[in-house]
Amino acid sequence: MKINQEDIPVAMQNDGTIMRNLAGYGGMTVAYNELPAGTDFTPLLKGLQNDSCHCPHWGYIVEGTMRVIYDDGSEEVLRAGDVFYMPPGHTAIVEENLKMIDFSPSQELEEVLGHVGKMMAELG
């Protein structure tokens, strides 16, 4: 089973952001995201448990840099070429324009993306 990143359906798009995702990979959702520097997920996660993402992610940074902040206060920077596992309980800030591929459990990801969509509508 394979798909080209350009064939993954666009879930959200605006001002330099393209978020593509497709469920159906053994209970996982594959995503290919392009996010501009300065993207901060923190305000979009407010209202979730600990105001953070409860969905784990496994992935690869194709281009750019992203700082991940965990619920325990620890932080790490993911850079181009890094393969990562992001456990539940995190938020992230894009430091350099980012392109990344990740795989996430579909149910948890849908819960988070549903909340993010509501917060984006509220914040305008």
Tens digits of pLDDT across the chain (124 residues):
889 999 999 988 888 899 999 999 889 999 999 999 999 999 999 999 999 999 999 999 999 999 999 999 999 999 999 999 999 999 999 999 999 999 999 999 999 999 988 988 887 6
Alpha helices (H) along the chain: 42-45, 106-123
How many structural domains is the chain composed of? Answer: 1
Residue numbers of the domain that contains 58? 5-123
95 and 77 Cβ atoms separated by less than 8 Å: yes
Helix (H, G, I), strand (E, B) or coil at 103: strand
98 and 68 Cβ atoms separated by less than 8 Å: no
Say which CATH number the domain at 54 has. 2.60.120.10
Backbone angles phi, psi at 109, to 5 degrees: -65, -40
User: Between vectors from CA 123 to CA 64 and to CA 77, what angle results, nearest 5°?
Assistant: 25
**Per-residue tokens: 79:** 């850079």
